[in-house]
Amino acid sequence: MTVRVQEADFDVGAELARLTDGNKRIGGLAVFVGLVREMHVREGYHRDRIDALTLEHYPGMTETALQDIEAEANRRWPLEATLIVHRYGRMEPGERIVLVAVGSPHREAAFEACEFLVDWLKTKAPFWKLEDTPKGEQWVGAHEEDDAAAARWEKT
Amino acid sequence: MKIRYFAWMKRTVGVAEEEVTPPDGTDTVGDLVVWLRSRSPGHAEALAEGAAFGAAVDQRTATFDVKLAGAREVAFFPPFTGG
């Protein structure tokens, strides 16, 4: 289990190689890479161009929150390896923001746990996006769809 | 205790963090919010009733009924938008 919060970009291939190195129980690795999009769709139709994105976070709490989410994934699925790398600072469209990778003996657990981690880190880890647009700076608002996606995994 | 503000709340309040000594009777996060509003118009706006913001006590997400006893750091922030 590894969580990293960093300003620098990451090398997906190198990260995955390190994650699985020496562990031959892993039969499937599910990977999510989040990128900065050049457009932000607001209210379903209005599109703003994005020149850059600045991610602010809460050092200390961010790491704790991500570790909690990762631990929860390990409680729910039989996982062999998990990795969350999340960047902060200024990024331009096309740049990588986040990497989530999950290794398990079987693909079902890897796919599900990867989706779970992405859904929960969006709503439970203290990151905030500030967009730099031609009309000025704009804080990104929370999305109802993200809340709904995270809620699917709440235990009833 | 130390109070920290993040994202747009930091700009509205005007500071990223401040050291405060709330009066006796400030027992919960909710009590603290009410008292902080009186510090400046920026505080009142950022922490207004009905504004969408959350809190953390000593870096753990906290609801407004959480007790402050022994808390060293309380943070206020808008809903998270990472990922």
Please list every residue in chain B whose beta carbon sits closer than 8 Å to the beta carbon of residue A128.
Answer: 6-7, 77-78, 80-82
Q: What is the pTM of this model?
A: 0.92
pLDDT digits (tens, 9 = 90+) for B20-52: 999 999 999 999 999 999 999 999 999 999 889
* DSSP letter string, B24-78: TT--BHHHHHHHHHTT-HHHHHHT-TT---EEEETTEEE-TT-B-TT--EEEEEP
Which chain A residues touch B75 with a CB distance below 8 Å?
A: 58, 61
How many residue pairs bridge chain A and chain B with CB atoms within 8 Å of each other?
70
A93, A136 contact by CB (below 8 A)? no
- From chain A, the residues in CB contact with B6 under 8 A are 56, 58, 126, 128
| Residue A100, helix vs strand vs coil | strand
Interface check for B8 against chain A (CB to CB < 8 A): the answer is: yes
Max Cα distance, chain A (Å): 52
Mean pLDDT of all residues belonging to chain B = 96
Where does residue B41 rank: exposed (0-12), middle (13-18), buried (19+ CB within 10 A)?
Answer: exposed
The reported pLDDT for the residue numbered B33 is: 98
Average pLDDT, chain A: 93
Query: Where do the domains of chain A lie, and which CATH numbers do they carry?
Result: 2-150 (3.90.1170.40)
pLDDT band at A44 (very low <50, low <70, confident <90, very high): low
Query: What are the tens digits of pLDDT across the range A87-107?
Result: 999 999 999 999 999 999 999
**Structural domains of chain B sorted by starting position, each given as residue range(s) with its CATH number in brackets:** 2-77 (3.10.20.30)
Q: Is beta strand A96-104 parallel, antiparallel or unpaired with respect to A28-35? A: antiparallel
Q: In the predicted model, is pLDDT for residue A43 greater than 80?
A: no
Through-space distance between the first and last CA atoms of chain B, rounded to whole angstroms: 31
Instruction: Give the number of other CB atoms < 10 A from CB of residue A148.
Output: 11
The packing angle between helices A61-76 and A107-124, to 10°, is: 150
Q: What is the pLDDT of residue A135?
A: 86
Distance CA B61, CA B82 (A): 16
What is the arithmetic mean of pLDDT over A114-125? 96
With a cut of 70, say whether residue B66 has pLDDT above it.
Answer: yes
User: pLDDT tens digit string along A128-144?
Assistant: 999 998 889 989 887 88
